[in-house]
Amino acid sequence: MAKVRKDLRGRSLRKGEVQRSSDKRYMYTYTDPMGRRKFIYANDLTELREKEAKLMKDQLDGLDLYVAGKASVNDTFDRYMSTKYNLRESTRSSYFYTYDHYVRDTFGNKRIAEIKYSDVLQFYYYLLNEVKISLGTLDTVHCLLHPTFQLAVRDEIIRNNPTDGVMKEISRESGKNRGIRHALTVEQQRAFMEYIANHPIYYHWWPMFTVLLGTGCRIGEALGLRWQDLDYDRRTISINHSLSYYQKPESNKSVLRISKPKTEAGIRTIPMLDVVKDSFEMLYEEQLENGFNETEIDGMSGFIFCNRFGTVPNPQTVNHTIKRIANSYNADEVVRAKKERRDPIILPNFSCHHLRHTFCTRLCENETNLKVIQSIMGHRNIETTMDIYAEATEEKKQESFENLATKLDVF
């Protein structure tokens, strides 16, 4: 017969209950529906058993609601996220941020069994037309809702996934190119870089933007670069990690963390252009005089880029800087162009990722081997490379025909 366990007051303890010898507190151990071991604590046995009863009721109620199809979209999304064991912390935080920001307080409160295709379509158009999110952001929302509903389909809670085909209809109605990032033209790129190089305030940003435009790195990959990632002898840059700046789910505090690049293809080696090498050397000479970046993030140190506080800049700071520089440039350019009686070269609203797209476009204009372009860019799918290549070569196609017209003397 099994020995009955008792607490210090001689009361019998149930399965999973213990009284800790260290602080005399009571603890109950249980396994959640996902197979994970969890614990609840209390100062006395009565309080512990009240918590046990509430826990059992919550688990059964939640499961009953789900099985009966009475769960909300929020309940199902949280259930779906609990199955994603291998997500990086930064990715999980990003998913919850997007869902909480756009779905949880509105569409997320609906009962999942009552939602139809038209409900999803109306919600997506609401996000586009009322909230004014981009098609790209909507696609991110869809990539969270679609597998959430698919989980309910597989669990036989609902018969069909109401999000199937919605994005295809949205894209057709909204226009094929809505939300696509377009590269800067050669003229705009030169104007942007020349303005920075000659500006009394913004000139110190020249090395960073030269690296972004000369490597095609994602902003997290660029900010995560360390001096040891550079090989001056072979003239290469090793991209083997990325810097993420994200909000912790349990608090409002944002932190910098190191992660792998966005995809496995993101781990790559990039040739170092002369102008990029010059930029790194400028930064090294500057830090020799002013001090090197001593920030340590997840055990890594020796970061190349450094802000005025001696730490690694975060991506949003760089994007805000681009906006300030572009606005300043455009205001000056309008005045200059008027004085010189010419049309101004206006910079569009763009971000760090547009600079990556711009590099890829310049690469496509001068390189025909798509596998080389894919490797340098770190694209997981060749289709991404092909889409940019097709857009980049459209103008070149017109130039080719114009050149052909001057050479053909047969008409």
pTM, two decimal places: 0.66
Residues 315-344 have pLDDT tens digits of: 889 999 999 999 999 999 999 999 999 999
What's the confidence (pLDDT) of residue 75?
87
Q: Which residues have CB under 8 Å from 35's CB, separation 6+?
A: none
Identical fold, 73-174 and 186-394: no
pLDDT in tens, 237-272: 999 999 887 766 555 677 788 887 767 778 999 999
CA distance 119 to 110: 10
Report the CATH fold assignment for 73-174. DNA polymerase; domain 1 (1.10.150)
Report the distance separating Cα 391 and Cα 397, nearest Å. 10
Selection from 211, 279, 227, 265 nearest residue 377 by Cα:
265
Question: Tokens 């499961």 identify what position?
Answer: 63
pLDDT band for position 130 (cuts 50, 70, 90): very high
Pairwise pLDDT comparison (403 vs 53), residue with the higher score: 53
| CATH code for the part of the protein at 186-394 | 1.10.443.10
The answer, yes or no, to whether residue 378 has pLDDT greater than 70, is: yes
Residue with the larger pLDDT of the pair 252 and 55: 55
> What are the domain boundaries of the chain?
17-67, 73-174, 186-394
Average pLDDT over residues 3-7: 81
Residue 215 is predicted with a pLDDT of 96
Nearest CA to 220 out of 201, 197, 243 is that of 243
The residue whose two tokens read 């999000």 is 163
Instruction: State the pLDDT at residue 333.
Output: 95
Helix H, strand E, coil C: the string for 230-278 is: EECCCCEEEECCEEEEEECCCCCCEEEEEECCCCHHHCEEEECCHHHHH
Beta carbons within 8 Å of 350's beta carbon, 6+ residues apart: 181, 184, 322, 326
Nearest alpha carbon to residue 68 among 160, 156, 145, 151: 156
Contacts of 301 by beta carbon, 8 Å cutoff, 6+ apart: 226, 293, 294, 295
Residue 329, token pair as written in the block: 């440039």
